[in-house]
């Protein structure tokens, strides 16, 4: 169970170029073994609003884990976000962020309790972990983690290579070709973790 929770900490930091037309699918490999997939839905919206959605599923002998991440932007500003995780059909955790009167309210929930917080966050927020799935983080210095309710630093390591550090200290690197993320690498307690773009699902 500990490995699965650690995996989810890294799972939803995958970034990539704009999604168009059809969902993109990444295979999730843990120690070289296929344990699930991550789907990036095409962005929906109009000239003033944009809705983003990602879904991840991990299946092992003991656990079935499902993650959903959603964002709503209006005029480039984050209005609401949702990060939820289920394990074996039961809610593990859920975080909801809502813009209200020039600041953000964050609600953290798990199977036992719900907490409302007003963290010290920059306003407005323009980039999130979920939005990294849709836009290469060119000139990004920070993104908002919808799961943790905190900002995360983004560092450009080299051309087409970025590093994101999550609030829990975990890091992931993203490999790009012509603006398209084709591979993400990280580790969980010393075990190699990779996200590989499935052939035939690349954006056009």
In a domain, 177, yes or no: yes
The answer to whether 129 and 79 are in contact (CB under 8 A) is: no
d(Cα 98, Cα 152) in Å, to the nearest integer? 18
Sign of CA dihedral 142, 170, 173, 157: positive
Q: Is residue 147 part of a domain?
A: yes
Is 204 among the domain residues?
Answer: no
Is the residue at 202 inside a domain? no
How many folded domains does the chain comprise? 1
Closest CA to 57 of 49, 43, 67: 67
**41 is a domain residue:** yes
CB under 8 Å to 181, separation ≥6 — which residues? 14, 15, 16, 17, 136, 174, 175, 197
The answer to whether position 37 is within a domain reads: yes
* Whole-number pLDDT of residue 18: 44
pLDDT in tens, the chain (204 residues): 555 555 555 555 543 344 456 888 999 998 899 999 999 898 898 989 999 999 999 898 888 999 999 999 999 999 999 999 999 999 999 999 999 888 999 999 998 888 988 888 999 999 998 887 788 889 899 999 999 999 999 999 999 899 999 898 989 888 888 877 788 888 878 888 888 989 877 654
Name the one residue in this structure whose structure tokens are 């609003």.
Answer: 49
pLDDT at 19: 46
* pTM for this entry: 0.85
pLDDT digits (tens, 9 = 90+) for 61-93: 888 999 999 999 999 999 999 999 999 999 999
Q: Using the 8-state DSSP alphabet, how is residue 128 labeled?
A: B
Is the sign of the CA dihedral 71, 142, 172, 62 positive or negative?
negative
Please name which of 150, 140, 177, 142 lies closest in space to residue 161, comparing C-alpha atoms: 177
β partners of residue 86: 66, 91
Both tokens of 105, joined, read: 């309210």
Provide the residue range defining the domain that includes 129: 2-197
d(CA 100, CA 47): 22
């Amino acid at each position: 169970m500990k490995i699965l929770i650690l995996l989810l900490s890294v799972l939803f930091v995958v970034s990539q170029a704009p999604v168009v037309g059809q969902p993109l699918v990444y295979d999730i490999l843990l120690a070289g073994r296929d344990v699930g997939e991550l789907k990036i839905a095409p962005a929906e919206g109009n000239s003033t609003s944009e809705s983003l959605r990602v879904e991840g599923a991990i299946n092992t002998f003991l656990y079935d884990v499902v993650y959903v991440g959603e964002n709503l932007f209006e005029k480039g500003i984050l209005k609401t976000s949702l990060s939820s995780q289920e394990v074996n059909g039961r809610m593990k955790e859920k975080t909801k962020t809502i813009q209200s009167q020039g600041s953000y309210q964050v609600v953290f929930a798990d199977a036992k309790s719900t907490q409302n917080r007003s963290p010290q966050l920059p306003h407005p927020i323009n980039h999130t972990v979920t939005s990294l799935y849709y836009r290469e983080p060119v000139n990004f210095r920070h993104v908002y983690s919808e799961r943790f309710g905190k900002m995360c630093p983004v560092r450009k390591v080299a051309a087409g290579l970025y590093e994101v550090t999550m609030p829990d200290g975990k890091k992931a690197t993203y490999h790009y070709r012509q603006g398209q993320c084709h591979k993400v690498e990280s580790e969980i307690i010393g075990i190699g973790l990779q996200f590989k773009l499935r052939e035939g699902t690349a954006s056009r």
